[in-house]
Amino acid sequence: MTTRETDTSEFDGAITSAASKALFDRLVEENVLTVEEGGGVRTTDAFDDTHAVYHDSYVGVSDADYHEAVAATFGLEDAESAAELVEARGVERREFICYLAVRSHLDGDATADGPTGEVSTDSPTDELSSDDLAAMAGMISEVVPDSPVPPGVADVTDDPERLLVGRDRAVVSVWKRFCDPCDALKADLDAILDAIPDDVAVAGIDGEVAIGFCGTHGVESAPGFVLFRDGERVRTVTGSDPDEVVAAIQTVYSN
């Protein structure tokens, strides 16, 4: 299970009122967030399991299906109205997924009444407004990383092909959230990066977002490494065996 952690100080801008503090405390009490001894905050394993279900269900759907889900969730007239809302408020899928996950985890009913002010924490079934849940989802999204690409690896999810422009050799690594093999391989990532020659460009992508790239280059599972020479894919290797990845790199870039 991936550990997602941030410092509590990063919430200072979000928790600016008693109501916001009550929502944060509710997330801790309901085992959504946990505060570590050193002050770090992370999502719990129990919430991660719920979050993973919604993440897998919605991260890769078409825009039309995404808008249909938003419309159904917030009681909007149709998908077109949802699309306008998404555009106007800049609602990202990751935030919507957090919203659904926290609503499910708390087993509460979202309403369209707006903020409720102070939130009682006497019972896990207390009703919360959609704005309360949205605020909670925002707090959670501060803990969940924007990308599964490991720190220190350039993230080119938005346009993976740009890495190939003007370069003779390049490696694109593919990662996913809630991916145990990905987490396992990250422990050996330094050894893999050390095996890549200095003149080979290296970057990473979120495989659940850059679906077209993965389909084009034969990445059917994560983690994966797509090895290019002269702008053309030479080999795709997937799986969590670092020795297999290193062997592929050495074979493709041995001369």
pLDDT band, very low/low/confident/very high, at 114 (cuts 50, 70, 90) = very low
Average pLDDT score, the chain: 84
Q: Using one digit for the tens of pLDDT, what is the confidence trace for 135-194?
A: 999 899 888 777 899 988 999 999 999 999 889 999 999 999 888 999 999 999 999 999
Extended beta strands in the chain, E state: 5-7, 33-35, 40-43, 110-111, 128-129, 169-175, 201-206, 224-229, 232-238
Residue that is written with structure tokens 């599972």 in the block: 221
Amino acid at 184: A
Alpha-carbon gap, residue 51 to 57, rounded angstroms: 10
Q: Is omega for the bond preceding 150 within 30 degrees of 0, making it cis?
A: no
- Confirm if 221 and 182 have CB atoms less than 8 A apart: no
> Could you give all domains of the chain from N- to C-terminal order, each with its CATH number?
5-143 (no CATH), 160-252 (3.40.30.10)
pLDDT-derived band of residue 15, with 50, 70 and 90 as boundaries? low
CA–CA dist 13, 134 (Å, integer) = 16
Confidence label for 120 from pLDDT (cuts 50, 70 and 90): very low
Question: What percentage of the chain exceeds 70 in pLDDT?
Answer: 85
| pLDDT tens for each residue of 28-87 | 999 999 988 777 888 998 898 899 899 888 888 889 999 999 999 999 999 999 999 999
